[in-house]
Amino acid sequence: MSQAIAASAKRPTAFGDALFAGLVKAAGIFVLLLLGGIIVVLFIGGLPAFRQFGFSFLTSADWDPVQEVYGAAVPIFGTLVTAVLALAMAVPLAFGIAFYLTELAPLWFRRPVGTAIELLAAVPSIIYGMWGFFVIVPIMAEYVQPFIIDNLGELPLIGDFFQGPPFGTGIFTAAMILSVMIIPFIAATMRDVFSTVPAVFKESAYGLGCTTWEVMRSVVIPYTRVSVVGGIMLGLGRALGETMAVTFVIGNTNRIATTIFGPGNTIASIVALEFPESQSGSLKLSSLLALGFILFVISFIVLAISRMLLKPGAKS
């Protein structure tokens, strides 16, 4: 009798486990199918452009809708340069914010600052774009760019990167706006993972005479390396795919800029600008879809590189 009761009690549990396992498995498969479907649609849509231009589609800087000649070199260049510059500006600031909130800030001050950082992530990208165009661009044109051009533009080797007319818009301004947009993602991730370090680890280091920076460098960062890199990659993914904010301030010119103050384009911005004017079945629409596929490939390569950095054999 007791065995029958035990068996009947186990059946619902076994059924519930099987049902739950099936649901989560279906959710995982659905994500893969959705991602695969998007990639296939973009590849098939961009196939006429790949067939028409071949490998030169990746290397050509031409974008002439009148002659129906399209190339992806300018938006690829703009996407990579703005994302790298934004990451270079955002990571030190995000690390400083997370370091201050977890190690130095008083307890009463941590919550409001942390909430403010999280609220920055909720600001729509078009608001960042409008703020950049009406506030940052005039400041860059009147003060920042002339100062940098006058002081760095004549330096040997690197001076060419800081020359050009100070219009305010351009790759550097777009990277600045992107850095502000991705700081909340990186800083919030770093703050959360820094807080997970066991207190006994840090107390042991302090007991050995380590300073606060030495504890951060030798204990906290190695312990949280995987999550920190993951947060940085999250910010990089946001920077690579950002559309409206970049469109407002990058200048939207189809040529490769020779200075960081020059105008340019990104994949997302050129798609946003050109897509409404493209006709169904046209070579222009196919080229835009091909650009979307290339952006997927770039994101995949970035993700693969981050996975390589996170291998157990990689250096901390």
Q: Distance between CA 189 and CA 129 in Å, rounded?
A: 24
Positive or negative torsion for Cα 236, 241, 246, 251:
positive
Query: Is-contact 223 201, C-beta < 8 A?
Result: yes
Q: pLDDT value at position 177?
A: 93
Domains and CATH numbers, the chain: 56-309 (1.10.3720.10)
* 316 compared with 239, residue with greater pLDDT: 239
3-state class (DSSP) for residue 64? strand
For the chain, give the percent of residues with pLDDT over 90: 20
Amino acid occupying residue 33: L
Confidence of residue 164 (pLDDT cuts 50, 70, 90): confident
Amino acid occupying residue 50: F
| CA atoms lying within 13 Å on the CB side of residue 230 | 12
Q: Distance between CA 248 and CA 78 in Å, rounded?
A: 14
Q: What is the DSSP string of 89-146?
A: HHHHHHHHHHHIIIIIS-HHHHHHHHHHHHHHHTS-HHHHHHHIIIIIHHHIIIIIHH
Q: pLDDT value at position 83?
A: 92
Query: Is-contact 98 110, C-beta < 8 A?
Result: no
Q: Distance between CA 207 and CA 230 in Å, rounded?
A: 31
Query: Is-contact 89 174, C-beta < 8 A?
Result: no
Q: Whole-prediction pTM value?
A: 0.85
Average pLDDT of the chain is 84
* 316 compared with 166, residue with greater pLDDT: 166
Query: Is-contact 58 298, C-beta < 8 A?
Result: no
Q: Which two tokens stand for residue 29?
A: 């498969």
Residue range 180-201: mean pLDDT, rounded: 88
| 8 pLDDT higher than 60 | no
* 89 compared with 3, residue with greater pLDDT: 89
